[in-house]
Structure 1
Amino acid sequence: MDRRDGTEMTVQAETKTNPAMWRNPGNDNAEAEAATASRGPRVPDLNVISGAPAPGAAMEAERGRPLIIRFGKHLRGIFDRLIASSSLVPNDPVLDVRDFAWTAILRDNWQTIRDEAVAVALRGDAAPSLATISPDHRAIAEVNKWRSFFLWGYGYPIPENLARCPQTRDVVERIPGLNSAFFSILAPGTHIPEHRGVTKGLITCHLGLIVPRDGDVRMRVHDRIVRWAEGETLVFDDTYQHEVWNDTQNTRVVLLIQFERPLRQPGKWFADFFMGFVKRSAFVQEARDNIDHWNAAVKQLDV
């Protein structure tokens, strides 16, 4: 993948040799208690305030969802194949940023975006664990290890958070087909196990904001290993299995953008239909409610 200055961004072809190590759900309660204790007495249990179940309840929550939601997951393979056949950009795991001219907007404003992330999203408990917000991430997101500060989620703006990051808001609202935007905050020593995205109709872009240099922080997308660079964009198809490591002593921060894949018909019709289904689904609506509850709880703490 090329950088704007003509040098090559670090993207290596590497074959996966070891299977993903999934966390033992039996340890969830101990981890949650340790994480809560480490925050000190000033902060209440925001997981309880938000109404979100503990991460260890992910499998039980999945069984309790409406049949139509679980059935939709089985249908997405068919939809993904139909969408891929209509794609106007390659279906490769890692894509060329030059196919997405608007990514220059992110690179040109990366320091401003980084400064707002530091001032707002990295302050206190402003950014909750992704496991708290998103039901579908509770099986892979360790308590307080992978945090998120949402600006947009599945086509829905988060007005309160956007108001706190006005310059970032102005930049992301210029992105064609914007679906989601949030600061993705990965704690030191974190491994996010192998997982995949919701639909081929969306493509993911990362803008590197804070990338530690005291070790290796990387992501595997299918059979490719990629590494972030501050001020640079990385575009990939998250319907390929991918996993992330932060093998450093510091926090990694990126602005994560999901946007609509450029499509011709009939793929666009299938993508729009499936995304309409997803936006109305229980897991998206629950995530929106959890963000609102979290923001209300944090406001009480004067964060």
Structure 2
Amino acid sequence: MARLTLLRPVAAAARWRRPTVTLANQTNEPAQQFGTEGIKPMGRPSAVTRFFMAVVAFAERLNLTFSKVGNPPIYDKAVFPWAREIEKEWPAIRAELDKVLTRKDELPGFHELATDVSTISQDRGWKTFLLAGYGFKSEQNIKACPETWRICQKIPGLITVMFSIFEPNKHLPPHRGPYNGVLRLHLGLIVPEPRDKLGIRVEKEVYRWQEGEAVIFDDAFEHEAWNKTDKVRVVLFVDFRKPLRFPANLMNWLLLNVAVFTPFIREGMDNQKAWEKKFYEEAEALRNR
């Protein structure tokens, strides 16, 4: 269940083809584009979807105008003082990740949970271990990673928490998240060498993950990510509400809460629950041998 993923609010409705739109703002910051050339649009048109996407387009313009933190592709972490607190506790998160990775090959490919992710990833090179997203909580995954969950409660407006796992030579092509009312944090947990062989580009800025270091960015800008090393790369992947002034904050709250009831979000939740049932039943069977 992301933005480009199954747990992003607008991804739930974005299966309707929307033309590329430039969202300009009144600063010198880069303009945001809705849509990415060469990426197959999501399908499933309907009157309800078209109406929802029109509301989203209006909300995105409000979000740019009423942002409390500006609209850069990658943020200065000083804008979010809590980011340092997350970084300080990264060893506890890494310790829980190490336990999760003992069954790495059984973790789901992202596209297996969020079917629309197949527009940018169709193999199991991008795996995930989800704790929560858009009102859904995986109680068993949270039980497996209680420190990770505790630490993430320090993030205001928390929406999604998961481990994002890139297998060797995995590359996500350029794409744009469907909604700019949410920001994303990556906390480096396993970052193999050489570091110049992996990274993420957001608009024109390239960031190279570091273990114990957080980066906060707006995935409403075109971005791509790659791991060209021969080892696994893992980050803590968190989405949180963008700090906005009235009336954008109210509109944003409404959209994010309505998204929980969309068919795509519910489909993703069902896929997650089905995977969990199998995953933990197999673990129990092994313990009882």
Q: TM-score, normalised by structure 1?
A: 0.76
Amino acid at match of 2:226: W
TM-superposed CA distance for 1:115, in Å, is: 1.4
Which residue in 2 is equivalent to 1:260? Answer: 241
AA aligned opposite 2:242: R
2:207 to 226, 231, 234: 226
The Cα shift of 1:70 comes to 5.3
The one of 124, 131, 154 equivalent to 2:134 is 154
Contact 1:88 1:264 in 2 (8 A): yes
Aligned equivalents of 1:70, 1:141: Cα separation in 2: 25
Contact kept? 1:21, 1:193, Cα under 8 Å: no
1:271 and 1:289 mapped to 2: Cα distance? 25
Q: CA RMSD in A?
A: 2.1
Q: Secondary structure, in 3 states, of the residue corresponding to 2:210?
A: coil
**Correspondence 1:98 to 2:82:** no
**Deviation for aligned residue 1:114:** 0.9
Deviation at 1:167, TM superposition (A): 0.9
Counterpart in the other structure of 1:216: 197
Aligned to 2:156: 176
- 1:16 alignment partner in structure 2: none
* Paired AA for residue 147 in structure 1: K
Change (3 A) 1:140 1:73: farther
**CA-CA distance at 1:103 after TM superposition:** 1.0
AA aligned to 1:247 is: K
* 8 Å CA contact retained: 1:201, 1:261: yes
Distance in 2 between the 1:67 and 1:182 partners? 33
What is the identity, as a one-letter code, of the residue corresponding to 2:220?
T
**Aligned counterpart in structure 2 of residue 188 of structure 1, from 168, 172, 176:** 168
Give the unaligned 5+ runs of structure 1: 1-19, 24-57
TM superposition shift of 1:285 = 1.1
The aligned counterpart of 1:140 is: 120
Check 1:187–1:74 CA distance in 2 against 1; reply closer, same or farther (3 A cut): farther
For the 8 Å contact 1:152–1:158, the answer to whether it is kept is: yes
* TM-score, normalised by the number of residues in structure 2: 0.80
SS of 1:138's equivalent in the other structure is helix
**Residue in 2 that maps onto 1:286:** 267
Q: Secondary structure at the match of 2:43?
A: helix
* 1:119 CA displacement: 0.5
Cα separation, partners in 2 of 1:122 and 1:153, compared to 1, 3 Å = farther
> How far 1:174 sits from its partner (Å)?
2.4
Q: Which moved more, 1:111-120 or 1:70-79?
A: 70-79
Shift of 1:22: 6.2
| CA distance in structure 1 between the partners assigned to 2:115 and 2:127 by the alignment | 14
How far, CA to CA, are the matches of 1:128 and 1:70 in structure 2? 31
Q: Who is 1:123 aligned against?
A: 103
In the TM superposition, residue 68 of structure 1 has moved relative to its aligned partner by 2.3
1:244 and 2:225 correspond: yes
User: What percent of counterpart residues are identical?
Assistant: 33
